[in-house]
Amino acid sequence: MAQAVRVVVLAAGQGKRMQSAHPKVLHQVCGRSMLAWVLEAALELDPERVILVVGHGREEVQAAALAEFPDAPISCVVQEDQLGTGHAVECAAGELQGFDGSVVVLCGDMPLLRSESLAALLEARSGEGMAMLTSFTESPTGYGRIVRDEEGNLQKIVEERDASHEERLIPEINSGVYAFGCSELLAYLGRVESENSQGERYLTDVPGMYAAEGREVGLVELLDAEEGAGVNSLADLAEVRWGLQLRILEHHLSAGVHIEDPATTYIDHGVEIGSGTKIFPCTVLRGGVRVGSGCEVGPFTHLREGTVLEDGAQVGNFTECKKSTLGAGSKAKHLSYLGDAVIGEGVNIGAGTIFANYDGASKHKTLVGDGAFVGSGTTIVAPNEIGAAATTGAGAVVTSSANVGEGEVWVGVPARKLENKHTQEDGGESPNQEGEED
């Protein structure tokens, strides 16, 4: 029978080194907050409850967590004064009283941590003992060191500020992730003191207490040391972003998405891409984007939230899409902005086309019917509608609510319907000549 689990996530810190008034754990990494990545890993343990310890920006942090996981068993407790990690966990004691199971404690600024590592941590805890995650690094600066005895068992954890010169040379570091028996944890928390350089109550003192009393402390080494990386600065944030980005790229590659240059491709969490789609270099796909099968995206393309490319659609060089749908087989290959547009199937959007969706106060939609041909340099002022099989000439400005009818041809500034009789008898220019179809 699987053991009952509750998870305590420490997310109260201000993160002064981030140089931001924004709560540290809510800084974005690949389209979601650091905290969301951590909570996702924690929830995969199927815990009875996740207890979020909040402090700085508490309302914002709590709201973000509950919005991201509205149906999850998440409760919040407040750490009024940040007096150390031991004090933070003690703030959650009311949510742990009477619980007979394992308590996992982790930090909200570790977005690379995997649920598999947390499962291994729980597996390593037995009886009245505890377990913790460690890793080895050539650059241990800033982390607590794991001090072992002659038999290789944990003796203590020493924070860098309190470490001797010899202890600072130890390459094994504490990842700050633990699994305890609940009753033992609560008992030891009451004994944690603040006799250190910071005057804080360190949770890291608790494993040393276990060891001193002969209780088992399982040391679980992270095979991928980057999982234990905590974020304390914007430089740290940039490093973990690349780690998460690689995971996302590998996921899409394994699903049959051809990514020509992963080093210049940015894909957020939650983006859906069908197999057989090609992503060309210098392309950005933000969260909330869905791309079908057999599409082409890029190079130098920006797909923002709410964009949908149906199967076989193509969006190319220096084209930006926001809250727009491009129907099956439709193309917008060059220098265009598609904002708040619903574009049908088999539509050609010529180079330099702008969907002018914002009037200075509100955003408006444009509908483009199947088979329409939008000539190069067309500006469509929303709200508007371009009918099926309609055409706009190069440089046309289709003013707000003009509503080009099905099969009609509109040209000029402002654009007006071009009558067939005029075109045939006066040898008028074909409005299609500046259109773009690669």
Quick check: is 299 in a domain? yes
Q: What is the pLDDT of residues 302-325, one digit of tens each?
A: 999 999 999 999 999 999 999 999
Residues 263 and 378 in one domain: yes
Quick check: is 212 in a domain? yes
Residues 244 and 96 in one domain: no
pTM, full prediction: 0.90
Name the percent of the chain lying above pLDDT 90: 84
Residues 27 and 48 in one domain: yes
Mean pLDDT of all residues in 254-273: 98
What is the per-residue pLDDT for 138?
A: 86
Q: How long is the chain?
A: 438
157-195 burial, b at 16+ Cβ within 10 Å, e below that, comes to bbbeeebeeebeebebbbbbbbbbbbbbbbebbeebeee
CATH number (domain holding residue 192)? 3.90.550.10
Q: Which domain holds residue 264?
A: 234-425
Give the pLDDT band (50/70/90) at residue 195. low
Residues 187 and 55 in one domain: yes
Residues 211 and 243 in one domain: no
Q: What is the rounded distance in angstroms from the CA atom of residue 15 to the CA atom of residue 23?
A: 7
Give the pLDDT band (50/70/90) at residue 142. confident
Give the pLDDT band (50/70/90) at residue 147. very high
Residue with tokens 């310890």: 53
Q: Which of 22, 269, 334, 364 is catalytic?
A: 334
3-state secondary structure 197-223: CCCCCCCCHHHHHHHHCCCCEEEEECC
Q: What is the rounded distance in angstroms from the CA atom of residue 267 to the CA atom of residue 284?
A: 6
Q: What is the pLDDT of residues 4-57, one digit of tens each?
A: 999 999 999 888 888 888 999 999 999 999 999 999 999 999 999 999 999 999
List all residues 6 or more positions away from 246 whose beta carbon is below 8 Å from its beta carbon.
262
CB 272 within 8 A of CB 251: no
Give the pLDDT band (50/70/90) at residue 192. confident
Quick check: is 430 in a domain? no
What is the per-residue pLDDT for 425?
A: 43
What is the per-residue pLDDT for 141?
A: 85
Q: How far apart are the first and last CA of the chain?
A: 61
Q: Find, among 67, 84, 6, 71, the residue nearest to 33 by Cα.
A: 67
42-56, 192-206, 364-378: least confidently modelled range: 192-206
DSSP 337-355: EEESEEE-TT-EE-TT-EE
Quick check: is 157 in a domain? yes
The domain tally of the chain equals: 2
CB 146 within 8 A of CB 173: yes
What is the per-residue pLDDT for 437?
A: 52
Residues 220 and 238 in one domain: no
Predicted confidence (pLDDT) at residue 431 exceeds the cutoff of 90 = no
Which H helix or E strand runs over 88? helix 85-91
Residues 218 and 324 in one domain: no
Residues 242 and 221 in one domain: no
CB 323 within 8 A of CB 307: yes
Residues 262 and 362 in one domain: yes
Predicted confidence (pLDDT) at residue 66 exceeds the cutoff of 90 = yes
Quick check: is 436 in a domain? no
What is the per-residue pLDDT for 426?
A: 47
Residues 82 and 151 in one domain: yes
Quick check: is 90 in a domain? yes
Q: What is the rounded distance in angstroms from the CA atom of residue 50 to the CA atom of residue 68?
A: 14
Quick check: is 431 in a domain? no
Residue that is last in its domain, among 228, 261, 282: 228
Annotation marks residue 334 as catalytic:
yes
Q: What is the rounded distance in angstroms from the CA atom of residue 134 to the CA atom of residue 153?
A: 13
Predicted confidence (pLDDT) at residue 178 exceeds the cutoff of 80 = yes
Residue that is last in its domain, among 228, 251, 274: 228
178-192, 250-264, 327-341, 376-390: least confidently modelled range: 178-192
Q: Give the max Cα distance, the chain.
A: 101
Predicted confidence (pLDDT) at residue 101 exceeds the cutoff of 50 = yes
Predicted confidence (pLDDT) at residue 424 exceeds the cutoff of 50 = no
167-171, 306-310, 419-423: least confidently modelled range: 419-423
What is the per-residue pLDDT for 197?
A: 62
Quick check: is 438 in a domain? no
Residues 21 and 154 in one domain: yes
Residues 24 and 166 in one domain: yes
What is the CB neighbour count within 10 angstroms for residue 388? 16
CB 337 within 8 A of CB 379: no
What is the per-residue pLDDT for 435?
A: 45
Task: List helix spans (H) across 1-69.
Answer: 34-43, 58-68
Q: What is the rounded distance in angstroms from the CA atom of residue 397 to the CA atom of residue 204?
A: 67
Q: Mean pLDDT for the chain?
A: 92
CATH number (domain holding residue 319)? 2.160.10.10
CB 39 within 8 A of CB 137: no
Residue that is last in its domain, among 228, 244, 268: 228
